[in-house]
Structure 1
């Protein structure tokens, strides 16, 4: 095993615990808030005034969280070092009138959320998780545990599937079963209400819900030398967790000077970030403005602080696939456990430029972390991240990074055991570095 294996394994086990506690974006920010509470951070309410000055704070808006540490020396023009990530993952979202079915089966009506690999969700024990909002406006988290399954058609009834490929209709075939009975008598919302912890809710009182499907299989370390880690939602809870743990470690030092360290964990990245809690929305700007106001900044001084700021946009990227090497760039081919990625795209689908690349190289060198450059094959379109959105919206210098994965957007993704800790180590240094 590598010399840093014990620390890497400890980190990966904690990542697994975080993922297991976070079957939805709402659970992810709730669990992050619980950990921040334990580290002495103060939760703030957007409806209330905020006091200025040094300290460690966080705010939750729906499925997004912003947390920050203000050093003692901070003033009106102090810059922000922001690690941006996202809390959502490709999945399926519960539709209105969700209880369906026929031929004695009970099924859930779901809508595709983002770009999941549909076949990877077949024949798994799945749960429903998210938030219920009652008619009186109160909100409650729900997670059912194993409840659902997308059953695949037997090969005896689809003899050509292995030769011709599996074709799945999002509407016809992606309707999971959750029981036997009559949809007129068995209510799926009633099941969600029954499985709330510590409270009894009448299903008729549910006014709205944001509920997704999530895998229930526990994360696992495996491989010839224990070098692999398989889990759901690594895109992008791996980055959210790294940024969270790095911020908690940074706060323990009680920083007296340096930048204002910020973790920005947005929701809705997988569907374009256009929401009040997404990177295209106002949440980060709202929080940064209120921090600056608390430090006595004028409008001009706030612009100075943004000009002095830097954002590390951390989102998972692609490792080279041994069975599909032709889909990757012929020269830049990242591998698992080769270090986090520096993500580059000429068309600014990633926000990395020479300035950001140089900062990333310096940070990785100072903590002795190897990194790998990622660029897409010219014949394949490149995905994007929150990086260009943040750079465009706020004018903050931005670099795109992340850990390499195989099976991205699968119900169960794969990373190397060492890479998440390496990302967290660089993030911790970034939080305290004047960029």
Structure 2
């Protein structure tokens, strides 16, 4: 049976093509949604871009007929801008305030009431990324659901970059004897991704184990090529941190993604690796560090001072790590060091977009607050001879329309995991302090 889907504004602002994602069903866009989209179209950020795209798509649809009468889509479904189901009478008994959210819910409620009078009523479903809108709809007896088509992967299937295999101890002995293992001989039943890490454990329960890395062609398991020596005074404290350094210091891997909770060492390890590659080995001519000014793209002109002074509050976590690495003693020392070196640049993503960046070690912090389009825009700026590292915690997202399964960092991890030039690892153990680890786990 065909269904009626009523779309909330946030669905279209997250994915302008959402109106085409409901197969042969009827898609309803309430008139108030157009008003909200119109109010966002002048924004300079991703939301404004999506609002303008929605406007262009709807304008193109007008060639097929009058939108308020409904038009047929290529999928066999239909699209309609709703003007006639605006009555607020049924809403007033529970939610009396005439807000935009309540007006959208009212449209869905009126559609359901109308369908119930028919001999074969169609299900009416309100689609919203706003949790409270879905809760309100549920209170009123409406079916409501999140928009899932933009999700890259379900939460429990996110690629971790590391897998644990329980094998016979003879397999571990074979690895230590020959310094490699053939993946096909393990009979896993699935393929390993390039540069995916593997922990071998004895299936008989002894402490015998080994840490390996999948080759770039995915056919062999090899030892890690790095020893556990400190990098700019920073040594790996656990297996995942050692994996991260393996990816960060491998010049053949030009795209690295690191995810993990606060305090797992993502930023500190990456900065240490970047400083080694730029200052000591001279592999890259510059270390560029950027993070979103949340929300992404907002003008920072309201803060006092020149550009660097305005950026400092947003970039302070980066400076904190740099002060630790350079072991500065006084306030202001890090600025003098950076000015003297000239090869380290701290930027907001507002300024990094649109550039072409060759020969640089690029770090993008807080990448979980980027949309899929923003990640594509940034990574596609990377020039010849550059390496880019995306860092973030998908569990801490400030963007109003993103979640752990639909943000740009998760998107990049899933799309690049089978590529030979990329590597990923999820850091799990907090090393900032025992208190920080408890906070990440319990709060």
Q: TM-score category by the smaller chain?
A: under 0.3
Give the structure with the higher percent strand. Answer: 1
Larger radius of gyration: 2
Q: Where is the helix percentage greater, Structure 1 or Structure 2? A: 2
